[in-house]
Amino acid sequence: MRVKFFVLSVLMGLVMKAGAQQPTGGTLTLQQSIETAVKNNTTVKQSEYLMESAGIIYKQAKTNMLPDLIGNVNHGINQGRSIDPFTNSYINQQVNFASYNLSSSVTVFNGFQLLNNLRAQSLNYDAAKLELQQNKDNITLLVILSYLQVLSTQEQLTQAINQADLSRKQVERLETLNKQGAIPPSQLYDLRGQLANDELSIVNSRNQLDASKLSLARLMNVPFDKDLQLQPLSADELSLVYEGDVESIYNNATSQLAIVKAAELRKRGAQRSLASARGAYSPLIFLSANLNTNYSSAASTQTLVNIVDVSTNDYVLVNGTKFNVVTPQSNFSSQKISYGDQFKNNRSSSFGVGIRIPIINSFLARNQVSQAKINLRNAEFLAQSTQTQLRQSIEEAYFNMRAAQDRYKAIRDQVAAYQESFRIAEVRFNAGLGTSVDYLIAKNNLDRANINLVTARYDYALRTRVLDYYQSKPLF
């Protein structure tokens, strides 16, 4: 968690003035390094997908408040004894049938579950966007540290080369004097040993520089380029008086950092989710509407053709004589009802209001509320813990800044003193008044101080920019 705060503190705050300039030739800027790493980083990509998923969930929460519309189509064949869907009577023949249904329903009230869920998902979506920014901050920090490490080792290499050049000139001068017998040979051998030591420092610095470039390439997820050149950053002219204290920096940070805002949004989202879960205790009121029609191949209409008198088996006795009873008989012709006519004639609709009252549902609502309460307590704990750790991180960053500031001032004064000491030792040595031991001691002291100054300067620059970011101050 502290690393995350440190990440945020450095996010783009260390995109120094050189990093905002356009590269020249094959030079890579800090801004380009950060953009490349953010683009290629796997964790950032996964956070983007999680944010997009949260956005879809939020959209679904909004559309859940709209009425639904569902269409059903059913076609089939009945064989043997079955019910005619047209007459609802039994028939014994093959029947082709079809039914169509269009239904819609909308929730009128459900304990504000939909509304609270919508607000919860909106807050979660906003939190996901901030968490994406946080993951970008994480990779940004690593790139900045690696970028500064490359510059630091590169400057150390330059310092080692300058030290070797100075030793080489002294060796060349002493070789001439040794040939003339003007100096003891031990002085020449002492300087040759120093030159060999300086050349070894060059080899070590070059190896460290290659390792630093490899680390930066890994963070950017690009092929390693040994000849990669970075645009220098302005780490000179640092103010040795830093304005601001822990309390003011903390107050500014709590209103700016993405991780703090995300934790607060997650807590508010958990509160809304709890309210939504409690809504399951309330009755559900909904409106519904249906539109139906059907078709049957057995459906037909009967048309009257004529009426004729037909003799029956019944009879009447008249004076002992039987006369058959005649009855009128209607004759009809059968015609199939067309698909279109059935579709229109069989149409029906309905509209209703329903209430669903939860009585016993396997304690689902109670368990959901209990789970939502746990989620809320966890979110509240994380929000509080985030602010606590933020303060701790700021206090640690402020302490590190003061330590780096004191170290930078001390080493800067030390370099000034050793420069004068070396100048005097060099003058005495060249004049033959000093020994090679005195000269080498003065030179080694100055060399170590210069290398320490390089490290201290970049370290102090980083620490001050960390606190500058917390306070929204202009950076570089």
pLDDT digits (tens, 9 = 90+) for 277-291: 999 999 999 999 999
- Is-contact 382 276, C-beta < 8 A? no
pLDDT at position 62 is: 94
Domain ranges of the chain: 2-299+337-470
Q: Is the pLDDT of residue 268 over 90?
A: yes
pLDDT at position 114 is: 93
Mean pLDDT for all residues in the chain = 83
User: Could you read off the pLDDT of 382-391 as tens digits, one per residue?
Assistant: 999 988 988 8
| Residue from 425, 444, 445 nearest 435 by CA | 425
pLDDT at position 8 is: 38
Taking the C-alpha atoms of residue 444 and residue 438, their distance in angstroms, rounded to an integer, is 10
Residue 97 sits at φ, ψ, to 5 deg, of -135, 160
User: Could you read off the pLDDT of 7-66 as tens digits, one per residue?
Assistant: 334 333 433 333 333 333 468 888 888 889 989 988 899 999 999 999 999 999 999 999
| Residue from 246, 232, 253 nearest 457 by CA | 232
Three-state DSSP class for residue 57? helix
Cα dihedral sign, 280-283-285-291 = positive
Q: Which residues contact 155 (CB under 8 A, 6 or more apart)?
A: 454
Cα dihedral sign, 81-86-88-89 = negative
- Is-contact 91 82, C-beta < 8 A? yes
pLDDT at position 240 is: 65
**pLDDT confidence of 253, banded at 50, 70, 90?**
confident
Give the residue-averaged pLDDT of 217-233. Answer: 86
Taking the C-alpha atoms of residue 425 and residue 436, their distance in angstroms, rounded to an integer, is 9
- Is-contact 417 118, C-beta < 8 A? no
Three-state DSSP class for residue 250? helix
- Is-contact 415 449, C-beta < 8 A? yes
Of 265-269, 331-335, 397-401, minimum mean pLDDT range: 331-335
- Is-contact 466 397, C-beta < 8 A? yes
> Which CATH code, of 1.10.10.410, 2.40.50.100, 3.30.1360.120, 1.20.1600.10, is assigned to 2-299+337-470?
1.20.1600.10
Q: Name the E strands within 384-452.
A: none
pLDDT at position 472 is: 59
**pLDDT confidence of 351, banded at 50, 70, 90?**
very high
pLDDT at position 67 is: 93
pLDDT at position 168 is: 85
Give the residue-averaged pLDDT of 455-474. Answer: 74
pLDDT at position 26 is: 60
pLDDT at position 475 is: 41
Which residue reads 């610095």 in tokens? 205
pLDDT at position 6 is: 37
Q: Which residues contact 140 (CB under 8 A, 6 or more apart)?
A: 7, 10, 11, 12, 34, 37, 38
User: Could you read off the pLDDT of 120-131 as tens digits, one per residue?
Assistant: 999 999 999 999
The better pLDDT of the pair 410, 428 is held by 410
Of 203-212, 349-358, 419-428, minimum mean pLDDT range: 419-428
Neighbours of 82 (CB within 10 A): 16
Three-state DSSP class for residue 94? coil
Maximum C-alpha span of the chain:
182
Give the residue-averaged pLDDT of 78-94. Answer: 76
The better pLDDT of the pair 423, 191 is held by 423
How is residue 413 annotated by DSSP?
Answer: H
The better pLDDT of the pair 113, 476 is held by 113
Q: Name the E strands within 357-459.
A: none
CA–chain centroid gap for 370, Å, is 29
Q: Where are the alpha helices (DSSP H) in 221-300?
A: 246-254, 258-278
- Is-contact 30 14, C-beta < 8 A? yes
